[in-house]
Structure 1
């Protein structure tokens, strides 16, 4: 069921005596009151109870995708937009959804980041992923948190080089943390798309938030900057309306700069001719009227300014790439990994010698 992309759930039962329940409750209370390693102790007590269960049934819930999800993701990928999927599903279900929704193309391979519990394991997995940088990354929330804790810069650089990233078992805090890390390290705007209440923190942390009105409610839609009803509307919102807004704002800023330069140059020449006297060339009302009229006409003309039609913009999403800045690719981090590995070897050897 998980390979088919279903949300699976196993239901079981266990009959406890009163003494067994009393002992379990006492150990659970002590674990919750522990000062150190509280989560590990609570998980250990609960796992001791989850033994010898009688299997009752299995459930599989299908996540039916909305219409045109696959073409929308392919269009965003062709437009040069990197797409990350942050979900609370388990690893198998998240990988199946990524493949079925065409987030990961058929020509790409998947690199599953193993469950790590120490810094050395995280370092070895990052080295393995570095050798397969062209593969899509699938990582769980606990492994993601450990990598960010010890290798924040290296992990973000490697993940940004990957064509697609899938983070499963993510809490709302993890989602917002990933968005902030992308903003901090890439220095690029981040757009977050969500449809549930657990996506509110991620939407608020992003530069632009898109909320989808769905069956999970309107929490994401109310917290977002833009509200849509279908996921496929993202393509038109970004490729058509976003592109026009960017180009019109850029043209308007050039008009405003040109207007200011004209006024400044005329005032500078006038002051130079009259020995830099503190006299204005034009009265205040004339300056305000000139600035208003000169800027008003371009504003009204830019409202209907279109270089291509909507059909052409959606048919050729590569036009969206013209708006992106041409920046250098991130520096290779192979040397830093090697230095870190040598440092760890030296520290381990030094520890052995001391002990």
Structure 2
């Protein structure tokens, strides 16, 4: 917990140690180890120092096997400076660690612990280690350096080389981290649903964890008000049968008041997107709520692209580096700037504070006002331009198509700068409804979603007014 991470310890003038971490999970694990008297006190280049019960243990960091969304685990190779032992330490998702345990391990015990923690909505990680002999490490290190310097298929070669080392692991235990629900999340989801917005949860968490989180934030309704349909399978036939079963249920329950949602994991989703795109697309159109768990950043972007292909307007919101592809693929990207870093916020069209509940105001208030103002300004720009053009055209016939302008250059300049600027300033400051009214009655957003203020009919009306005037 204190060694296998990318955390950087920072020592203050008073001697207190704080940690700078790329993820909240790593920060929580390092602080938990510190509470257990295993304190990471220094990380300088390839040197690590751990304070354990007032004695300093030094390690040399030989190699770091970075976490990727495909491998779902991270490993480090360290050398104990006291006895010279070379140790591989790994942490990751249960399906990325437990299958590679050495024979004779009671894998079922750890798998049950993971499932039990997941039922409480906790995010789980498995910890493992293995001692390496020098010859084995020396041979592997040469392959690792060669793969790391490859110019073609570098990621694939690195994953293959890492796999050669991460086997016969001794499972140390399972950790569980509570990802506390922010204030206002259930209310925000409920309000935006009333505004006619459908929700999909795309997460890298375990299926049980994702379902518990979804229940706690009112993302899905519990029985008997709601029904949760599972899409699973490890083969193409199993996934197809699961898709057809869920699709049939969706068709039957579409007219019923019961809230129906489906859950799919990354493995089944990969098969569905590759072989059964038409079936999954129909399912996506019918469902208002979906939970996609254990998905990779690429799969998140694929799902956004799929929904855009169904003629939906998509908004993607995320707070971490894994959400960047999804945010950039969506019509509107919203990044949450928080402890996960600023990667998502920098890649997004809009950035909000550290809390999800700010999304409600962004959509209902600012989004609606922006739509109203954009609809007016775009059509008004055509109106004022067509108005003066029609006058010039009529005058050209009267003047025998001589090319003479009815207005002098100063009047034409003043037309755009002064004469027609007041409606623009008015529209920018105008609020047809108060913010409080819009927040209390989210159904008002249906009017904007229907495109009542900007469509061919309204444009024809502005065109007709310019001709009449």
User: TM-score band, normalised by the shorter chain?
Assistant: 0.7 to 0.9
SS at match of 1:166: strand
Distance 1:140 1:295, change over 3 A: farther
| Residue of structure 2 equivalent to 1:251 | 376
Q: What is the alpha-carbon distance in structure 2 between the residues aligned to residue 215 and residue 132 of structure 1?
A: 40
- Compute the displacement of 1:206 (Å): 1.9
- Aligned pairs (5 A) from 1:1-355: 1-11=117-127, 49=167, 56-106=172-222, 107-118=225-236, 120-133=237-250, 134=254, 135-183=260-308, 185-229=309-353, 230-325=355-450
**Structure 2: any 5+ residue segments left out of the alignment?**
1-116, 148-152, 255-259, 453-469
SS at match of 1:216: coil
Q: What is the alpha-carbon distance in structure 2 between the residues aligned to residue 266 and residue 46 of structure 1?
A: 79
1:215-249 superposed Cα distances (whole Å, 9 cap, x missing partner): 21122122222221211110001101110111111
The 8 Å contact of residues 255 and 295 in structure 1, kept in 2 or not, is answered as no
- Compute the displacement of 1:61 (Å): 1.0
Q: What is the alpha-carbon distance in structure 2 between the residues aligned to residue 245 and residue 121 of structure 1?
A: 47
SS at match of 1:94: helix
Q: What is the alpha-carbon distance in structure 1 between the residues aligned to residue 165 and residue 280 of structure 2?
A: 31
SS at match of 1:131: helix
Name whichever of 280-289 and 297-306 sits farther off: 280-289
The 8 Å contact of residues 75 and 317 in structure 1, kept in 2 or not, is answered as yes
Q: What is the alpha-carbon distance in structure 2 between the residues aligned to residue 251 and residue 312 of structure 1?
A: 21
| Residue of structure 2 equivalent to 1:346 | none
The 8 Å contact of residues 233 and 242 in structure 2, kept in 1 or not, is answered as no
**Structure 1: any 5+ residue segments left out of the alignment?**
328-355
1:44-77 superposed Cα distances (whole Å, 9 cap, x missing partner): x889956xx7664332211101111110111111
1:96-132 superposed Cα distances (whole Å, 9 cap, x missing partner): 11111111134221111112422x3333222112122
Distance 1:17 1:300, change over 3 A: closer
- Name the Cα RMSD after superposition: 3.2
The 8 Å contact of residues 284 and 307 in structure 2, kept in 1 or not, is answered as no
1:283-323 superposed Cα distances (whole Å, 9 cap, x missing partner): 33322321222442112112321122111111111111110
More helix by share: 1
Distance 1:150 1:301, change over 3 A: same
SS at match of 2:201: strand
Q: Which has the higher contact order (CA 8 A, sep 6+)?
A: 1
Q: What is the alpha-carbon distance in structure 2 between the residues aligned to residue 267 and residue 11 of structure 1?
A: 79
Which entry has the higher C-alpha Rg, 1 or 2? 2
Distance 1:85 1:295, change over 3 A: farther
Name whichever of 155-164 and 272-281 sits farther off: 272-281
Name whichever of 105-114 and 7-16 sits farther off: 7-16
1:233-278 superposed Cα distances (whole Å, 9 cap, x missing partner): 1000110111011111111223222212211221222223344443
TM-score scaled by length of structure 2 = 0.60
Q: What is the alpha-carbon distance in structure 1 between the residues aligned to residue 203 and residue 383 of structure 2?
A: 48
Name whichever of 212-221 and 55-64 sits farther off: 55-64
TM-score scaled by length of structure 1 = 0.77
Distance 1:47 1:294, change over 3 A: same
